[in-house]
Amino acid sequence: MAVNSADVQGWGKMYGIGVGPGDPQLLTLRACDVLRQAPVVCVPRSTPGEMGYTWEIIRSHLDASRQEILHLHFPMTRDARELETSWGRAVDVAAERLAQGKDCAFVTEGDPLLYSTFVHVLRQLNRRYPQVEVQIVPGVSSILAAAATARVPLADGDDCVAVLPATGSQEMLELALSRFDTVVLIKVSRAVGRVLDILNKLHLEDKAVFISRASSSREEVVGQVASLRGRDLEYMSLIIVRK
Amino acid sequence: MAVNSADVQGWGKMYGIGVGPGDPQLLTLRACDVLRQAPVVCVPRSTPGEMGYTWEIIRSHLDASRQEILHLHFPMTRDARELETSWGRAVDVAAERLAQGKDCAFVTEGDPLLYSTFVHVLRQLNRRYPQVEVQIVPGVSSILAAAATARVPLADGDDCVAVLPATGSQEMLELALSRFDTVVLIKVSRAVGRVLDILNKLHLEDKAVFISRASSSREEVVGQVASLRGRDLEYMSLIIVRK
C-alpha cells in the first residue's frame, strides 16, 4: 500500500489546455504559465509532418531547449477502432513521461471539453491511468470567437442556445432551429447545401451568418449565406442563426 | 460630409471585453492588453457602492492614475423600462468619452455575447451611436470553466448541446433534456426544486453535476444534486447534465 501511494504521488500532472480559437493573443494567462513551465508539451496533429494550427498558437511560449515537445498523431477518420487506437497510443506516450514525475500539458484548440480531442484523452487516461491527476484550463472556444467577429449576440436574458453538428439528422436540425433562439451549427463544411435548404425552408436565411477560422489570419465572415452553396469550405466553419 | 467623416474618425473605439469566469489568470492576453491601454474602463455593477465581481478580476491590470474607471450601475431587475433606461444611460456616459476620441473598454464576466450585459450595450450603441466602431474580445465563459472544474465533457463527436435557463418552461426543459446529449442549465438558483423534479422524472439525477462560481475562490461542485433541494444557492450557479 505504501508503495502504491508513493507511486501515485510520484506521477506528474496532466494539464488539458485550451489555447483558444486561433489568435495567440486569445491564450489565457494561465495557459501561458502552464505552457512555459510544463516539462512536456503534447501537441496533437492530424497530418504527419505538418505542424498544425495549434502549434502556430503556442510556439512562441515554448522553449525547445528545456521542454520536450511531443507531436501526437490523431488521424482524421471516422473509423472508431482506428480512433481508439490513436487515443490510447497518445495516452501511453504521455503516461511514460507522467510516470517519471513530469507534468504534461496537452494542448487543444478552443476549449478542451467542447468538441476536442482532449475529451477522448481524458476518458482513456481516467480508465487506464486513474492515478494521474488531471487539471483542465478552459479556453476561448471558436464559437465565442465567431460570435465576437460577427458581432452577433449568442444569448441574452432567458434565451435558449443549441450547438449541434450540421451533419446531424434533419429532424434534430429542424427541432433546434424552430425551438431555440440561437443555433450554432458546427462542421458546416460537409453539409452546407443541406443546411441552406433547411434555413430556406424555415425562412431563417437572413438570420444566419457564416464564420470560418474566427480570430485567425484566415478568418472569413459571410452574411449572405446563400452565396456559400457549392463552395469548398474550411473544416473549422460554423453558422450562427440568431432569431 | 467632410465634417461628419472627421467626426466619425475622431470617435474612440468601444471594446467589449470578456474577462473570464472569475480566476484573474483566465483573462486572455488580449483582454489584459486592452485593459492596460484603454483610457476609459467601464465596469458594470448591480449594487451601488459595491465594487462587484468583475472588479476583482481586473483591478490588478488597471492604473487609476492614468485611466478613468467608470462604475456603471445596472440594476438587478426584470422591469423592462428600468433596464432600458439603465442601459441607455450607461451608453450615454461611455459615448461622452468616445466622442472625445477616447477608447472605452467595457468589461463583462465570462464572454461579452453569452448572457452578458454587453449584449444590451451593443444594441443601444448600434442604435444611438452607429458611428462608433466596436471590437469584441471573447472570453472564457463560466460554462466552460464549470465543465473544467467538474471535469465533465460538454461535447464530443456529433453530440448536441443545449444551454438554457432553468427558469424556462417545463416543456422546453424536458425537450432539451430528452433530446440533447448535454444540457447546461443556467440561473439554477431560482428554480432548483423544479429542476430536481424534472431530472428525477427523466431519470437523469445521476448524470447531473452542480457548479457554482467555477474558477473563483468561492467555487463549489456538488455531484449529488438531490442534496441541493431547499438550499439557498448563488446566482451564478449552473447544472450540467451529460448523458
Give the pLDDT confidence of B84-136 residue by residue, as tens digits: 898 899 999 999 999 999 999 999 999 999 999 999 999 999 999 999 999 99
Does position A226 have pLDDT exceeding 90, yes or no?
yes
For chain B, the domains span 2-137, 142-242
Instruction: Give how far Cα B155 sits from Cα of A116, A187, A203, Å.
Output: 8, 13, 28
The grid coordinates listed for A166 are 450540421
- Predicted pLDDT at A160: 98
* Residue in A26, A138, A175 nearest the CB of B144: A138
Indicate which of A158, A182, A209 best probes the interface with B, i.e. most B CBs within 10 Å of its own CB.
A158
Q: What does each of the 243 residues of chain B score in pLDDT, given as a tens digit?
A: 333 443 567 999 999 999 999 999 999 999 999 999 999 999 998 777 677 788 989 999 999 899 999 998 888 788 888 888 988 999 999 999 999 999 999 999 999 999 999 999 999 999 999 999 999 999 999 999 999 999 999 999 999 999 999 999 999 999 999 999 999 999 999 899 999 999 999 999 999 999 999 999 899 999 999 999 989 998 889 999 999
Per DSSP, what are the bridge partners of residue A221?
A: A211
Nearest CA in chain A to B26: A28
Which CATH architecture does the domain made up of B2-137 adopt?
3-Layer(aba) Sandwich (3.40)
- Predicted pLDDT at B188: 94
Which residues in chain B are contacts of A23 at CB distance < 8 A?
A: 30
ipTM for the complex shown: 0.94
Indicate which of A58, A117, A156 best probes the interface with B, i.e. most B CBs within 10 Å of its own CB.
A156
The CATH code belonging to domain A142-242 is 3.30.950.10
Whether residues B30 and A30 touch (CB distance < 8 A) is answered with no
CB-count exposure of residue A193 (10 Å: 0-12, 13-18, 19+): exposed
Neighbours of A25 (CB within 10 A): 16
